[in-house]
Chains A and B, each alone.
Chain A
Amino acid sequence: MIQKVRTHPSQNEALLFERSSPGKRAWQLPELDVPAIDAAEALGAANVRAEIPGFPEVSEVEAIRHFTRLSTWNYAIDHGMYPLGSCTMKYNPRINELVARIEGLAWAHPYQPESLAQGAMEVMARLEAALAEITGMDAVTLQPAAGAHGELTGILLIRALLEKRGNPRQKILIPDSAHGTNPATAAIAGYTVENVKSTDAGVLDLEALARAAGSDVAALMVTNPNTLGVFENNIAQAADILHAKGAMLYMDGANMNALVGIARPGDFGVDVMHLNLHKTFSTPHGGGGPGAGPVAVKKALEPFLPTPRLKRMRGKWAWDFNRKRSIGRVRAFYGNFGVLVRALAYILAHGGPGLRNATVDAVLNAVYIRKRLEPFFDLPYPSPNMHEVVFSDDRQAKLGVRTGDLAKRLIDYGFHPYTVSFPMIVHGALMIEPTETESKLELDQFIDAMISIAKEVETDPDLVKHAPHSTRTSRVDEVAAARKPVLRWKPA
């Protein structure tokens, strides 16, 4: 790989291994207050490793410079809007970071005596209660580590209940607009997947559902609003159809940002759902995680929830491990507690009325974007949208420019791209979700950028097709990366 020299050292930062030299160090340990030990004696000579070949050796100054320079190559919410559909890239409140680091919470060991963990347990109990109220469900588990993990938990819960009733059944129905984690999850839970087509309006086809909902169907997994940002108006009827056949309704809560305080899934027939705390509840994405995927259920599924569960005993919190019907654990310990703290801080900051106001602003922002961009981009599904809107690149594709190109050109205007080519039911999709934490100024800048790009497609399509032009790194060769994967650094 040729490494070209750029003008500023921060743009030309090498890898840690290339900056290392023997003897440089960023660490210092205190003197031992016990006798030192000979490793070979203590472990057996065969068990002692020679050294860690190639591991970095840099000073503290080089370390901080290295990561700081790397950080300047990233876009982030702190820079500007991420219009990514169904990702809900809202502001990550800094107070969350502070409270998660308070020593008594950050250093709590999951096995410390319950009498010395009451604060942590209270935080979890309070969050469970808040999420139950928000979703209109009866019980919540905070164990799952992310949305996909929550989905798996939810489907396993359904399986457990159906097994108890005598037949776990074989199939899960999934709309053709669903997120990829849905079918992948169904497969891990031992179910086969059957797609259900949407109507021309982009919502669940009740007739198709009724036809597909046979006695071998365990559940329908649905996202509401769906991945077009459209509310599934027939969801209550869909629930009825499923329940009449002894099947259940699972809701993927990725789009809850359109519903908090407005409508509750528990009120429209959902039996089990997951939430994404790193979406709706503002916990930071951190470049790809961590998240948390709590699962909320109706009473009938409560006995099957993962073990242990919080219970109140003699005025204190305790962990209840005695749960014979539980599906077991989906992970060690209790959940991504550090993420849970952040989500609770977010809920406390907003409060009930505040959460509803956030939803209203989220929807207002998305509808505003739709209205202002409709003259320029094809809108395949004209139904009212909620917190996100999906256009298609049909108009631009006629001139040879696709959604991926438009997205890359958006980078030159200072924005992160929207979600490209998803959902798959829209050809050449542009999926845009602003969230409520964008100002009118930011939205107008985004809208102006999109309109400008639409015009560029007509006057200078190559400018768009070869974008971005203003970034440190231009388009990367993903083909070479996949053909001959180089997945680690090696010394020359």
Chain B
Amino acid sequence: MRYLPKSDSERRQMLDACGAASAEDLFAHLPEAVRLRRPLDLAPGISEYEIVDYFRARAAENANGYASFLGAGVYRHYRPVLVDAVVSRGEFLTSYTPYQAEISQGTLTAIFEFQTMICQLTGMDVANASMYDGSTAVPEAAMMAARITSRHRVLAARTVHPEYREVLRTYARHQGMPVEEFGYAKDSGAIDLEDLDRKIDGQTAAVIVQSPNFFGVIDDVKSAAEIAHRHGALLVMVFTEAVSLGILEPPAGADIVAGELQSFAISPSYGGPYAGIVATRDQFVRQMPGRLVGQTADTHGNRAFCLTLSTREQHIRREKATSNICTNQALIALMATVFMTVYGKEGLRQLALQNLAKAHYLAGRLPSVFSGKCFNEFVVRAENPESVNKALLKKKIIGGLPLGRFYPELADSMLVCATEMTRRADMDALHTTLRTPASSEVLA
């Protein structure tokens, strides 16, 4: 087998050195009762060509060459070619966690730059080297707030991504951390500040809001933060569309930011792998989960980087650790780092402006449900979203996300997204299909 670099004669030599008559001898010490005495029921190994064929066939069974208006936490953005050029280098791709600083300065330096850029983007003082994704960054941020405030209640806005809230509940269930939700204003689609004010109390550790929120509406994080702080709670700001930070003012009043970086050159890849981050203020750094890279010097006084504040982590603190996370998303974070480097200060702004322009064009032609200002996605009324989408598929267009599955009160609506990759012709087609009575387009 091409990945096993030993010849049979070498195996023989090694067995002799081990004092073993055969390979079976190496396993002789195992109890017979545990031994698998039949071959694994898996087909024999196949060639490279056949492997490529297999996956090409699977890829052909997925959508190919469709325009798409799906957002909802996963966004279609162009991936600069430099991204794969960098992460495909064996020195990055096949390297290990940088525990041995002397021979990992490439990874460590890149992570330090990543941490810096996330701070610059979010306006926070310190950012970690990545969490699994945005959805798990949220409970990590909530648990962090609980540790800091020594309180246990969490209030999450209904406008936070529904699947993120599900994950939060799964994590919170066994930590004595009740999760309650507060609603949104039916006209604007932004959070209902009065509802928040009614529900918050002296036991609330964190108020969690997302902006732009799941409906694409830019939310009033500042006011939510004021309410939170008045009651001694922390404000956790969530983002799922990182490109929005190219033009949107970072969250004022946020204490912890939990976000998803998939928009930064991370392939949608049917749901993962992505990269989340947790960023916060200096004073909370020792309560942060995840790896942190710090600057230092080597014995000759040269600048160097290393993993630091490791006593927070599982391999030292064990059951008192700030998180159980070990493996993170380093390579994915590197993709985001290259993306942020390629676009840079002005490019990310221009990219955000293009997203804004495309979405604005689309919104101008469709019946918006909410009045709140949006970035690149928004909710439109569609009498029968499923049949609208069926009609669109015939034009090789994947329509927006019907919201009924997450918000029963919005069963007549769908969430549509336009990015810099969305073409005008496809937006015009969406407009035409939505304006046409559904019944005349749908065939059983």
Contacts and interface: CB of A to CB of B under 8 A. Distances in A.
A156 B117 contact: no
Interface in B41-61: 41-46, 48, 50-52, 54-61
Contacts of B85: 64
B59 A104 contact: yes
Most buried by B among A35, A63, A333, A353: A333
A159 to B, nearest CB: 7
Interface string B87-123: 1111111111110111111110111110111011100
Given A49-B245, A49-B247, A488-B119, 9 more contacts: A32-B358, A35-B357, A36-B353, A37-B353, A66-B341, A112-B62, A116-B393, A268-B34, A328-B173
A122 interface: yes
A253 B420 CA distance: 43
B306 interface: yes
Interface string A455-484: 000000000001010011111111011100
B171 to A, nearest CB: 7
A328 B357 contact: no
Interface residues of B, number: 200
B105 A286 contact: no
25 contacts: A15-B113, A29-B350, A52-B121, A55-B345, A63-B338, A74-B92, A74-B106, A75-B95, A104-B62, A117-B270, A120-B62, A148-B326, A187-B321, A188-B324, A261-B40, A285-B97, A287-B96, A290-B329, A331-B272, A336-B271, A352-B41, A353-B39, A473-B105, A478-B306, A485-B308
Interface in A159-199: 159, 179-181, 183-190, 192-193
A101 B130 CA distance: 22
Given A55-B348, A99-B52, A290-B331, A487 B164 contact: no
Contact of B6 (A42, A66, A103, A439): A439
Contact of A329 (B50, B70, B113, B167): B167
Contacts of A313: none
Interface residues of A, number: 203
B345 A52 contact: yes
B267 A107 contact: yes
A348 interface: yes
B435 interface: no
A102 B56 contact: yes
A300 B63 CA distance: 36
A268 B33 contact: yes
Shortest beta-carbon contacts, A-B, top 7: A286-B331, A104-B59, A333-B271, A190-B174, A78-B90, A288-B330, A119-B61
A339 B273 contact: yes
B166 A329 contact: yes
B398 interface: yes
A391 interface: no
Contact of A336 (B43, B272, B303, B318): B272
Interface stretch (B76-84, B191-199, B228-236, B436-444): B76-84
B96 A82 contact: yes
B51 A286 contact: no
Contacts of A338: 267, 269, 272-273
Interface stretch (B19-27, B149-157, B181-189): B19-27
B255 to A, nearest CB: 17
B394 interface: no
A330 interface: yes
Contacts of A284: 93-94, 331
B347 interface: yes
A71 B6 contact: no
B291 interface: yes
A11 to B, nearest CB: 10
B328 A289 contact: yes
Interface in A84-115: 84, 87, 89-93, 95, 97-113
Interface stretch (A207-215, A228-236, A243-251): A228-236
Contacts of A472: 102, 105
Given A328-B169, A476-B306, A286 B330 contact: yes
B336 to A, nearest CB: 12
A455 to B, nearest CB: 20
A287 B298 contact: no
A425 interface: no
Given A16-B113, A117-B62, A361 B129 contact: no
Interface in B223-268: 245-250, 267-268
Contact of B319 (A27, A72, A187, A473): A187
Nearest to B49: A95
Given A2-B302, A49-B248, A34 B45 contact: no
A409 B56 CA distance: 46
A86 to B, nearest CB: 11
